């Protein structure tokens, strides 16, 4: 940057020019007035009969000393003001230079750099906003790296299994019986589901997931899900209680997506609770919200989610200990997907859990204007 373009130079120069003009005009006016008044004073003296008639050498000396004093005062004032304005402007611009250095560091790929500018003015606000942005960029970058690592890991497991089986078949090490093909089909289906889920998640995040909405009854969706999952609940001897509110109106939703939400949460409940426990499902029309809504509650009496896991369960690929240690454990995207689908419908989802007592999920779906509330 050329020196004459610097803000310090320009602002100080501007203050200097303004001061110079102000003081020059002031001096000119003061001098003019002094001359006029002093001459007038002398003429008045002459009129009332005093001896001196006009400016003599003594008056000239007085006048020029007044002029000189004025010029000195003007010059000293100008120097002091220019000095002060230089210090003030430099104080404003120094943090800006520090910020510029930090921005350059971020541009070079070193995310997370912050500046230590502790001020309450506009520059302070800019510095704080910059620090927040920098930390957020670092966080997003870390998340992106983890996401890639997780995707690669999740894709590799089924691929390795299929590849191993295929190699065994080609080398005649594994007999070509139906069970091998069935297990390979399982892995391919799992891969396909994972890729589909990831695609849906990324589309939902950027609001580009196409929803095929139609009027649907969530009570019926829940009843169907319960009977579809009956073999799993029976196998674990789980007691399932369903309490559905008949007053809830039809909802304008994409049934496939909302079904997926219900299945993901019910599947979790079945997967993460011990044999003989209970699952409770309830629907209720909530009228006292800004928009009338339907609340779906899915609770279980399992061991609950650890408090340290709670803030993360809706994150991509987050799995609790129980899920990770199981051979059949999931990928950790079931709840992330559920959350995105509910958000796409203008709703919300949250969980409450108590260790040793169980977990409850609340899904709130707004009742659309077009669907009547009786």
Ligand X SMILES: Nc1ncnc2c1ncn2[C@@H]1O[C@H](COP(=O)(O)OP(=O)(O)OP(=O)(O)O)[C@@H](O)[C@H]1O
* Residue ranges that bind ligand X, judged by CB under 6 A: 264, 268-269, 272, 300, 302, 305, 313, 318-320, 322-323, 329-336, 359
Q: What sign does the dihedral 270-272-273-279 (CA atoms) show?
A: negative
Greatest CA separation found in the chain?
Answer: 141
Residue 332 binds which entry of Mg ion, ligand X, none, with Cβ cut-offs from 5 to 8 Å by kind?
A: ligand X
From residue 269, how far is each of 191, 219, 266, 298, 336 by CA, in Å?
A: 23, 18, 5, 8, 16
Structure tokens at 181: 């093909």
For Mg ion, the binding residue among 95, 330, 347, 366 (CB under 5 A) is 330
Work out how close the CB of 314 gets to Mg ion at its nearest, in angstroms, rounded to a whole number.
11
Of the candidates 348, 315, 349, the one whose C-alpha atom is nearest the C-alpha of residue 334 is 315
Residue nearest to ligand X (CB): 330
From residue 61, how far is each of 24, 37, 73, 74, 113 by CA, in Å?
A: 22, 16, 18, 20, 66
Candidate ranges 59-67, 309-317, 325-333, 365-373; the one touching Mg ion (CB under 5 A): 325-333
Work out how close the CB of 232 gets to ligand X at its nearest, in angstroms, rounded to a whole number.
14
Of the candidates 223, 209, 226, the one whose C-alpha atom is nearest the C-alpha of residue 337 is 209
Decide: is 95 part of the binding site for Mg ion (CB under 5 A): no
Q: Give whichever of 334 and 347 is closer to Mg ion, judged by the CB atom.
A: 334
Q: Give whichever of 302 and 366 is closer to ligand X, judged by the CB atom.
A: 302
Q: What sign does the dihedral 301-306-309-311 (CA atoms) show?
A: positive
Q: Give whichever of 31 and 267 is closer to Mg ion, judged by the CB atom.
A: 267
Candidate ranges 15-23, 173-181, 203-211, 329-337; the one touching Mg ion (CB under 5 A): 329-337
The contacts of residue 73 (CB under 8 Å, 6+ apart) are none
Work out how close the CB of 242 gets to ligand X at its nearest, in angstroms, rounded to a whole number.
17
Decide: is 268 part of the binding site for Mg ion (CB under 5 A): yes
Binding residues for Mg ion, rule: CB under 5 A, are 268, 330, 334
């Amino acid at each position: 940057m050329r020196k004459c373009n610097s803000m310090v130079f320009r602002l100080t120069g501007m203050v200097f020019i303004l001061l110079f003009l102000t003081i020059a005009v002031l001096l000119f006016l003061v001098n003019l007035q002094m001359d006029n008044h002093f001459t007038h004073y002398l003429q008045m003296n002459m009129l009332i009969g005093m001896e001196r008639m006009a400016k003599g050498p003594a008056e000239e000396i007085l006048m020029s000393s007044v002029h000189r004093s004025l010029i000195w005062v003007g010059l000293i004032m100008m120097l002091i003001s220019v000095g002060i304005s230089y210090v003030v402007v430099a104080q404003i611009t120094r943090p800006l230079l520090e910020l510029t250095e930090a921005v350059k560091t971020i541009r070079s790929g070193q995310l997370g750099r912050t500046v230590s500018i502790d001020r309450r003015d506009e520059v302070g606000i800019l510095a704080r906003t910059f620090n927040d942005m920098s930390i957020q960029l670092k966080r997003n970058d870390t998340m992106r790296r983890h996401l890639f690592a997780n995707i690669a890991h999740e894709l590799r497991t089924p691929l390795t299994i299929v590849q191993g089986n295929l190699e065994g078949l080609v080398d005649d090490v594994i007999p070509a019986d139906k069970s091998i093909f069935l297990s390979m089909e399982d892995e391919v289906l799992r891969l396909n589901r994972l890729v589909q889920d990831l695609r849906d998640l990324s589309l939902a995040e950027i609001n580009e997931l196409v929803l095929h909405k139609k009027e649907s009854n969530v009570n019926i969706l829940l009843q169907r899900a319960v009977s579809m999952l009956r073999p799993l609940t029976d196998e674990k001897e789980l007691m399932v209680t369903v309490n559905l509110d008949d007053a809830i109106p039809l909802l304008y939703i994409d049934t496939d997506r909302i079904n997926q939400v219900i299945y993901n949460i019910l599947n979790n409940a079945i997967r993460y609770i011990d044999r003989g426990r209970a699952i409770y499902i309830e629907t209720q029309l909530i009228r006292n919200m800004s928009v009338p809504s339907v609340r779906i509650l899915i609770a279980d009496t399992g061991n609950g989610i650890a408090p340290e896991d709670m803030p993360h369960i809706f994150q991509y690929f987050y799995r609790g200990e129980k899920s990770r240690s199981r051979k059949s454990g999931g990928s950790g995207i079931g709840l992330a997907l559920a959350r995105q689908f509910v958000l796409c419908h203008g709703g919300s989802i949250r969980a409450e859990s108590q260790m040793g007592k169980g977990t409850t999920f609340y899904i709130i779906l707004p009742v659309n204007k077009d669907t009547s509330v009786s």
